[in-house]
Amino acid sequence: MKEEVRHIFIGLTTLVVLMLVAGLSFSSSNMDAPRGVFVKAVFNQIDGLSVGDDVRMGGVVVGKVSTLDLGDHYTAVVMMRIDNPIKVPNDTSAAIHTDGLFGRKYITLEPGGDEEYLGTGDEITMTQDSVVVQDLLELIIGEAKAKRAKK
């Protein structure tokens, strides 16, 4: 009888521990919630930019691209998360750059001098679109052909 009670006690203890571990692993905690400020920027062209790409300021990663959507008049609406405790002035500009010639795209922020800062839901209004390498090469080739034709 004593051994039977001991086996039941060990089984119940194991079951309770497993339920606690399962509860902790499947619960949503505040530590998993993304922290920071979510701001929007509207571009005409974002070729190659993807969700999860870096947002940089002065070359330092300060956030990530969180969503890409098609907006009014077929513009590209980019939502980005700026990590705490980075404060971004209201007159900041955003541009899409490429890491090297054919590298990944990222958004670079150029802070302005405003003393007020962007908050969640605010929009960066000064933007510069992505440069398409093919268009750039066509421009260079066109210039070279024009110079050759003048000779």
Q: Is the pTM of this model over 0.75?
A: no
Question: Is 50 inside any structural domain?
Answer: yes
Q: What are phi and psi of 79, to 5 degrees?
A: -100, 135
pLDDT in tens, the chain (151 residues): 688 888 888 888 898 888 888 887 776 555 555 688 999 999 999 988 999 999 999 999 999 999 999 998 999 999 999 998 889 999 999 999 988 777 899 999 999 999 999 999 999 999 999 887 777 788 899 998 898 888 7
Secondary structure (DSSP) of 8-67: HHHHHHHHHHHHHHHHHHHS--TTTS--SEEEEEEES--TT--TT-EEEETTEEEEEEEE
Whether 92 contacts 115, CB under 8 Å:
no
With respect to residue 119, please indicate whether it lies within any of the assigned structural domains: yes
- Helix then strand count (H, E) for the chain reads 2, 8
How many Cα atoms are found within 13 Å in the side-chain-facing hemisphere of 77?
12
Domain-embedded: residue 59: yes
Q: What are phi and psi of 16, to 5 degrees?
A: -65, -45
Report how many domains make up the chain: 1
Rounded Cα gap, residues 124 and 57, in angstroms: 14
CB 62 within 8 A of CB 53: no
Residue 143, in any domain of the structure:
no
State which residues form the domain around 116: 38-138
